[in-house]
Amino acid sequence: MSRVAIVTGGTRGIGEAISLALQEMGYTVAANYGGNEEKAKAFTDKTGIATFKWDVGDHQACLDGCAAVAQALGPIDIVVNNAGITRDGVLAKMSFDDWNEVMRINLGGCFNMSKATFGGMRERGWGRIVNIGSINGQAGQYGQVNYAAAKSGIHGFTKALAQEGAKSGITVNAIAPGYIDTDMVAAVPAAVLEKIVAKIPVGRLGQASEIARGVAFLCSEEGGFVTGSTLSINGGQHMY
């Protein structure tokens, strides 16, 4: 029987590449998304992967959404917590709403999705959770106290939950991408991006598929001895 994987924010950007990589491994994939219907439809038309819409920052929506996926596809073995947003600004200009939304979706989403799926993984004695952190959670970034705090929180969350899952065959790991060529990075002003690329030793942005290969390994049978780790995929920008 094929294992079932959920990828949050799995219909575009890095998430789309992760969904495709897990599908290539023979897993049955459910791609969650937040609201971009056009991208979700184009993604399903292209890949045949089922999509499920809910807000990962909403606790009950995650419980209901995961139950719907399990009913449609089978018990959930793998969760990739990839959905994320930015609401950048220096502290002086950042509203509480900017802070709260980023914490609610980026960090809260990991808690909500893990709550919805961890118990089942434990009962069945096998599971894989991969949380997408960020180089900016490791190193900090000007104008991103909300995002850096949420992503840094993901790295702590990963190490704590890894300890809870280890005896039950559940691995919990994080990936910390550097700057990857997606819509999120396209939103960074060109002059700022130029300065960022100049600091990347390999001299270019990363590709979503390069993150997806790392996720695929962590979700494989062979990845069972890797838990509580953070894999930095950043072109050498931050050696941590």
Binding stretches for ligand NDP (CB under 6 A): 8-9, 11-15, 32-36, 39, 55-57, 82-85, 105, 132, 134, 177, 179-180, 182-185
How far, in Å, CA of 154 to CA of 132, rounded?
Answer: 8
Of the pair 28, 182, the CB lying nearest ligand NDP is at 182
Closest separation between CB of residue 39 and ligand NDP, Å? 5
Closest separation between CB of residue 87 and ligand NDP, Å? 11
Please answer whether residues 42 and 114 qualify as being in contact, where contact means their C-beta atoms are separated by less than 8 angstroms.
Answer: no
Closest separation between CB of residue 92 and ligand NDP, Å? 23
How far, in Å, CA of 232 to CA of 240, rounded?
Answer: 8
Two tokens, residue 51: 């999509």
Q: Which residues does the annotation mark as catalytic? A: 147
Of the pair 162, 180, the CB lying nearest ligand NDP is at 180
Residue type, 187: A
Closest separation between CB of residue 234 and ligand NDP, Å? 8
**What angle do the packed helices 108-124 and 59-73 form, to 10 degrees?**
40
What's the DSSP call for residue 104? I
How far, in Å, CA of 223 to CA of 219, rounded?
Answer: 6
User: What is the helix (H) or strand (E) element at residue 135, kind and residue range?
Assistant: helix 135-139
Of the pair 213, 224, the CB lying nearest ligand NDP is at 213
Of the pair 29, 83, the CB lying nearest ligand NDP is at 83
How far, in Å, CA of 25 to CA of 206, rounded?
Answer: 22
How far, in Å, CA of 77 to CA of 3, rounded?
Answer: 6
